[in-house]
Structure 1
Amino acid sequence: MSHDRAPAVADREATLSLALARLRLQGAIFLRGEYSESWAYESLPPRDALAVLAPGAERMILFHVVASGRAWIETRDGERHWAGAGDVIVLPYGDSHRMGGTEPAACVAVSDLIEAPPWSRMPVIRYGKGGAVTHLVCGYLVSDDPLFDPRLRALPPVFVVRPPEGAAREWVRASIDYAAQQTALVAGDRMEAPTPVPQLLLLEILKLHLAGAPAEETGWIRALRDPVLAPALAAMHGSPGEKWTLLALARAAKVSVSLLDERFREVLGLAPIRYLTGWRMHVARDLLRTSDLGVASIARRVGYDSEEAFSRAFKRETGLAPAVWRAACPAA
């Protein structure tokens, strides 16, 4: 059985790589931050950030690479995620967010920490009370692909990816260093990287994040462009805690139950409710690994009335109870 699994995993990764390779992305590294404990800041509102970083774009993807130290990030939903050295934080819809360190601190507006454009060089923020330092490298990308459509919300508002030790982790570090060095001002209020490194970085991080998405042969990305499946996926992804039934999902998609079931099986290789369970487990793993939420709270977030029912479902999916799975994850 193990001999069969390795080629299957390799095929899935290859298919996912091909699907992601069709994404069209443009962007740059735009900021370095050196934050000393204690520190915390609040980002610009999305529209203001767009006006500064990508004038004319309708939406933007933000990412932060933790070069050293440790930091938390949270969006409006209040879920706090932690990231450590080498981790990459992605905000696929460029949502407003807060970031901070390991010690309590008052949150200041990032606009108070950085000069307003035009810039003569890449901004560097140095802020904090002089304690342990966390280095962040921040970038943005723009894309009109449905994967980054905030109305669909195919991805969580923020997620943290920890590249595995070895070549992948070293590539991320080297790529960020190189991209930051290559980024140049092309106008008084805009920077661009003359290399595709930021794009390649995000594609690699998405591949790592989506490797556990519940769909055979990663038909998931194709499904985002499907007029029948996209509304049903938006409903599930937007409210994984909802008590979804096949009928309710069909109503959300404005199609018959039979058509929805048929299309799910055709494109995703799964029945709708089986996909829903897989997606809930995907979300739960992310929350267990990077958030401070308790198991009972995560259970409610992903649609289970009791911690016991969630634990049984999670163990069926992963082979481990949620608390055991969380304890086995490397610390952020």
Structure 2
Amino acid sequence: MREFGYQRAHDVPGALALLDADPTARFLAGGTNLVDLMKTGIERPARLVDIRELPLDRIEVTEDGGLRIGATVTNSDLAAHPEVRRRYPALSQAVLAGASGQLRNMATVGGNLLQRTRCGYFADVTSPCNKRVPGSGCPAVEGVHHNHAILDTTEHCVATHPSDMGVALAAFDAVVSYETADGPGKIPLSDFYLPVRDTPHQETTLPPGALITGITLPAAPVAANSRYRKVRERASYAFATSSIAAALDVQDGVVADVRLAFGAVASRPWRAAAAERALAGAPADAETFAAAADAELAAARPLPHNAYKVTLMRNLVVAVLSELAEETAR
């Protein structure tokens, strides 16, 4: 066992100071991903800074009708919160689809955003992996990749981001708030995750030493008619093979507003901007929904064993949007 230090922070400045004093340290909240990575030797922090007692565990309605979600809110509390279920039901559904009940009781919102890929080559320290050891290669390209990415991939990495919650947050234009020793900052979730390019080990734009303090969801009336649908290889707790967060408003048979994001198809939660553009002002029918899916998936570059994801995502778009259109029409 590798020894490490442990300290508990009681306020945000104190937590930042502890990390500043030891750049090899890591913040610890629920630990549902970090502790696993420490056990396998992927993460080797010299010190853990426990942030569970920080005052970041509230969910509040903002003045414009959105939500402010603290970084240490547990996934269970997020999914069960009445305002989340009322204003952003797809977010609640995504969290409930994301893990077992035991994990949701421990896992936090901030940690969920920062979880690492579940690619088997990344998890195996005896295998090359550009995310783990930059420049060592990506064996998944020629190896086991049936559940890997089809969008925004390079020869350097084809891993997917595992978060379900992140897909719903991407659909609703979430903004990540953080604190550093130099002061606070904000990053739209659309800019939070970096494209793979040739540096897959660089995953987010969060500044070094920063502490995520919360997430803000702007008001989005369309989000009240939303849904999260996840396809997985078994009905119980499992990571997605494909997923979708969708919200739809139909007026007089025409799409008045729509939000779409895909999961398990890229290295980050994937906002389906091309599909949204294709749907704007178009008839709310299955033919239109399929064409919008095709517009988004035209950029897909599947590998030999994951080409099924293109068809699967197309079918998910048509099925979920059709269900939402029917509900809107009632």
For the aligned pair, the TM-score class normalised by the smaller chain equals: under 0.3
What TM-score do the two structures reach when normalised by structure 1? 0.25
What TM-score do the two structures reach when normalised by structure 2? 0.25
Higher RCO, 1 or 2 (CA under 8 Å, sep at least 6)?
1
